[in-house]
Amino acid sequence: MLLKDNFVNRKSELGFFRKALDGKAAELILLYGRRRVGKTTLLREIAETAKIPVLYHVAAQTTRTAELERLSAAMAEFFQDNLLRSQPLRSWESVWIYLGQKAGTPFGLMLDEFPYAVEGDPALPSLLQNEWDRHLRKTSIKIILCGSSISMMERIGLAESSPLYGRRTGQWRLTPFGPEEFGLLWPVDNLVDLLTAYSITGGNPHYIGCFDPRVSILKNIHDQILAKGSMLYEEVPFLLREEVRDPRVYQAILAAAAGGARKFSELSGKTGLAKAHLTRYLAILSDLGIMEREVPVTEIRPEKSRKGLYRIIDPFVAFWYRFVFPHRDRLELGETAAVLRDEVRPDLETYVSRVVEPHLGALFRGRWRHLVPFPPAFAGRYWDAKREIDWLILDRERKRAAAVEVKWTASPVSARRLAKGLKAKIAEVEELKDAETTFILISRAGFRDAIPDEVCSLISLREKAAGITD
């Protein structure tokens, strides 16, 4: 890792797990999230700072017997049990019984990559359920089951048909960092550079860690994403193979979305998928945090809206399908520099301008929250047949609004002209005719003129990025 390798943020997650480990009751908690999102780092931080002893074990893709031998060795070391060291346990039922016998004194057990252990013995969740119901739930043991396959973890412990459904005492889905936390990992001087990098890597700590802040963004893209054999060159195909059964279909959907297909009918036409099948695939991509269906934020019943548009919300996946997938033939032939020169360099700013808006919106929950003079309840884009508003924030009663205009241009813009145009657009939105509206302008390169704060708030993204998180 070229960036800072220290543990940052994750305050909510640490608070949740520390409270569970400090309590007297037995705990059975699921921790899950996409690969590379930082689950193992979080587990190790929790284990190292816990008040009780914690056994951390990573399951491997191996046979049941081999896995039990590995776990028995770790348990023998943890409990200083020479007999167990010489006579490994031969069943998962024996593991849970053994741990139950040791649970008179509080301790924690973290099983990382738990789906691998289940692959080796599909009966594992049922065996845990039986021993939990019989004895473990009455002890002070703290069990944390962790996995990278979101779909499998949901089948193991969250689905109603799962043996562990109703037994788990908690669950936490670990998500990528937002731009607030990103500023702690990526040492840049201003928000333009920070948001540009975030629009490429997203908030995945591993992806961020592959980039070298000592060299340019284009150099990082060349070395870490476009170059065949580089760390991130095959990352998206690996992700899909881990999460879905037919990666080729999802490849087609994502490629179509990256190519500009946003309506359901456009995605269906580009992929050749029937309505029922496409609906199911899109739902899975939404569950994985890769795509979403967005509607104008003013819609009262979003699920019933016919204005829905689909987009890739994971920045790295969006970047990969925009600049890697269409040029795989050239990249496989080693034409990395040519693809960077011909495809990435000319279009990078346009790409960033299209994906940056929701990430800017996230900053209104943190760095810029003082500019919104009411508790936000809804936030998102607005569009109709005649106009589009980059970002709109509403209170719960929809009586107060904050309208945001974003200009990602290389040159300073006129604040007066932008404010006039934004106010004209708001005046024509029927849903906002009675709303008290605050106006906010954001410019990549700053402003040529100034206007009073009471008229409109101005944000220049050339401001310092330091201290982005309170």
Q: What is the pLDDT of residues 187-222, one digit of tens each?
A: 777 889 889 999 999 989 899 889 988 899 999 999
Helix (H, G, I), strand (E, B) or coil at 37: coil
Helix (H, G, I), strand (E, B) or coil at 462: coil
Residue 235 has pLDDT above 50, yes or no: yes
Q: Region of 447 please: left (phi>0), alpha (psi -120 to 50) or beta.
A: beta
Percentage with pLDDT > 70 across the chain: 97
Q: How far apart are the first and last CA of the chain?
A: 25
Residue 8 has pLDDT above 80, yes or no: no
Tens-place pLDDT, residues 358-387: 888 889 988 899 999 999 999 999 999 999
Pairing of strands 309-312, 291-294: antiparallel
Q: Which of 182-186, 265-269, 367-371 has the highest mean pLDDT?
A: 265-269
The angle at the Cα of 362, spanning 356 to 365, to the nearest 5 degrees, equals 155
So what's the pLDDT on residue 153? 85
How far is Cα of residue 103 from the mean position of the Cα atoms in its chain?
Answer: 35
Question: Please, are residues 441 and 425 in contact by the beta-carbon 8 Å criterion?
Answer: no
Question: Please, are residues 17 and 46 in contact by the beta-carbon 8 Å criterion?
Answer: yes
Of 434-438, 440-444, 459-463, the poorest mean pLDDT is in: 459-463
DSSP state of 257: H
Residue 151 has pLDDT above 90, yes or no: no
| Confidence band of 294 (pLDDT split at 50, 70, 90) | very high
Q: Partners of 456 in the beta sheet?
A: none
Nearest partner of 268 among 253, 286, 289, 284, judged by Cα? 253
Q: Domains of the chain by range and CATH?
A: 11-173 (3.40.50.300), 180-355 (1.10.10.10), 360-460 (3.40.1350)
| Confidence band of 150 (pLDDT split at 50, 70, 90) | confident
Burial track 308-341 (b if 16+ CB lie within 10 A, e otherwise): bbbbbbbbbbbbbbbbbbebeeebeeebbeebbe
So what's the pLDDT on residue 245? 87
Of 89-98, 198-207, 251-260, 337-346, the poorest mean pLDDT is in: 198-207
Contacts made by residues 128-134, CB under 8 angstroms, sequence distance 24+: 128/92, 128/96, 128/163, 128/164, 129/163, 129/164, 129/167, 130/93, 130/96, 131/93, 131/96, 131/97, 131/100, 132/28, 132/96, 132/164, 132/167, 133/167
> Mean pLDDT for the chain?
92
User: And the tokens for 40?
Assistant: 């193992």
Tens-place pLDDT, residues 94-112: 999 999 999 989 999 999 9
Token pair 């994403």 in the structure block, residue: 225
Residues in CB range of 147: below 8 A, 6 or more apart: 30, 31, 32, 112, 113, 114, 115, 153, 156
Segments in 324-402 forming alpha helices (H): 328-332, 336-339, 345-355, 357-362
Residue 228 has pLDDT above 60, yes or no: yes
- 113: phi then psi, degrees, rounded to nearest 5: 55, 45
Residue 31 has pLDDT above 70, yes or no: yes
Residue positions counted in the chain: 470
Percentage with pLDDT > 90 across the chain: 79
Measured N-to-C along each axis, helices 275-287 and 264-271 cross at an angle, to the nearest 10 degrees, of 110
Q: How far apart are CA 9 and CA 182, in angstroms?
A: 10
| Confidence band of 463 (pLDDT split at 50, 70, 90) | low
| Confidence band of 1 (pLDDT split at 50, 70, 90) | very low
So what's the pLDDT on residue 466? 46
Nearest partner of 319 among 266, 370, 356, 280, judged by Cα? 356
Residue 254 has pLDDT above 60, yes or no: yes
409 against 186, higher pLDDT: 409
- 308: phi then psi, degrees, rounded to nearest 5: -65, 140
Residue 338 has pLDDT above 70, yes or no: yes
Question: Please, are residues 381 and 388 in contact by the beta-carbon 8 Å criterion?
Answer: yes
- 165: phi then psi, degrees, rounded to nearest 5: -65, 130
pTM over 0.75? The answer is yes
Q: How far apart are CA 137 and CA 128, in angstroms?
A: 11
Nearest partner of 67 among 124, 23, 29, 10, judged by Cα? 124
Q: How far apart are CA 428 and CA 433, in angstroms?
A: 8
User: And the tokens for 409?
Assistant: 């241009």
